[in-house]
A = this chain, B = another copy of it.
Amino acid sequence: MPSSRGLLVITCVLALDLMTSACPSSGPTPDLLSLVTGRCLQFSTFLNPAAMCDVTTRRQNCSEMADLFISAFAFQDVCNISISRYDEFLEATNHWIPADKSVFWEGVYDFVHLYTEMGKRAITLEDTLTGYMIDRLRFCADPGQPSGIGGPSTHPCPSFEETDGCPWNAEFAFWTAASQNFASKARGTVSIMLNASADVAFPPNSFFAQWELPHLKAGEVSEANILLVHTPGHAVKETCQGPSITDLKRRLATKNISATCRENPRDVLWLLCWEDPSHTECREIISDDTNAASVGKSCLSVLSTLVMLTGIFLIVHISQTTP
């Protein structure tokens, strides 16, 4: 899923006539076809060639895949795109996902993608070809444009977060279709990374709750590791015993998926603190061994001195009291 950071509007106010497309804007991502094609080539040539080197079936090339994506929403009704229009694109970009590697998430976009290391450690939707090609893109249908898709003059170009009055816009329909598809392919143990500093760690209206969780297959997914992440320095608003986590566990149980929940487990905390070691919580970890070791050393030296003094005292005492 795209980050909401992608929606940040930075207005370049100077020399607008000289501004290039590289200046961030809130409109549709420019050069969509080239960007999507390039990402597909990057994924299949460098990031995960093994997944794409499928010698038994004829796979569409990246240019064909990019065309399938665009044609799913080009010239369509801006707010009423059927999710099934993305079927061909999902089929074309489909590849095998190893069991026990799928990660679902909500509210931790930056961190979860640092954590999965581009699919090396674990796999989010955005680490698959489908998600990688579309991640953070802004796009919409615009039947008024020659290309049929949103361009610089398209206002508004509703995002997946802007569904009020425009429920099935191109972005929302895509992420719904892709999320359902990704969830339905999960096998074995899945991870669910949620934000403990959000008001509700497992919001019932999130993509995960609405389009992924219901599509996890009972019998195929046996276990869920819930990872509650909180950035050091931020308030913890929900723990593993919190109401929304309890709700999540209950929903998993109806699918016979057993759940464990951990709050900032060590590998998560390590990475968070590596990213930003300035917070007290991190200073405690970083200095823990130094502090504890120095306490240990001081204590041992006091102890040995005391033992020695007691020994001397006893020897002197015994020698004095011996008749």
Which A residues are within 8 Å of any B CB, using their own CB?
A: 6, 10, 12, 14-16, 18-24, 29-31, 34-39, 41-42, 44-46, 49, 52-59, 61-63, 114, 117, 136, 266-267, 270-271, 273-275, 277, 285-286, 288-289, 292-293, 295-296, 299-300, 302-303, 306-307, 310, 317
Task: List 10 tightest A-B contacts by C-beta distance, closest first.
Answer: A38-B38, A288-B289, A292-B292, A22-B52, A299-B299, A23-B53, A22-B44, A296-B296, A292-B293, A295-B296
CB distance from A11 to the nearest CB of B (A): 11
> What is the bound-complex CA distance between A207 and B170, given in angstroms?
47
Q: Are B53 and A12 in contact (CB under 8 A)?
A: yes
Q: Which residues of B contact A295 (CB under 8 A)?
A: 292-293, 296, 300
Q: Which residues of B contact A277 (CB under 8 A)?
A: 267
Residue of B nearest to A53 (CB): B23
> What is the bound-complex CA distance between A134 and B141, given in angstroms?
33
CB distance from A271 to the nearest CB of B (A): 6
CB distance from A127 to the nearest CB of B (A): 15
Question: Mostly helix, strand, loop or mixed at chain A's interface?
Answer: helix
Q: Are B41 and A31 in contact (CB under 8 A)?
A: yes
Q: Are A41 and B34 in contact (CB under 8 A)?
A: yes
Which of B34, B53, B270, B300 is close to A34, meaning CB atoms less than 8 Å apart?
B34
Q: Are B63 and A34 in contact (CB under 8 A)?
A: yes
Residue of B nearest to A38 (CB): B38
Which of B19, B30, B267, B285 is close to A289, meaning CB atoms less than 8 Å apart?
B285
Q: Are B136 and A46 in contact (CB under 8 A)?
A: yes
A-B pairs with beta carbons under 8 Å apart, 24 shown: A10-B49, A10-B53, A12-B53, A15-B56, A18-B56, A18-B57, A20-B52, A20-B61, A22-B59, A31-B41, A34-B41, A34-B62, A35-B45, A36-B38, A37-B38, A38-B39, A39-B42, A114-B117, A266-B286, A267-B277, A270-B274, A289-B289, A292-B295, A299-B303
Which of B45, B275, B293 is close to A30, meaning CB atoms less than 8 Å apart?
B45
Which of B6, B45, B63, B303 is close to A306, meaning CB atoms less than 8 Å apart?
B303
Known A23-B53, A274-B274; judge A41-B38 contact (CB<8 A).
Answer: yes
Which of B38, B45, B300 is close to A29, meaning CB atoms less than 8 Å apart?
B45
Q: Are A55 and B15 in contact (CB under 8 A)?
A: yes
Residue of B nearest to A293 (CB): B292
> What is the bound-complex CA distance between A164 and B82, given in angstroms?
58
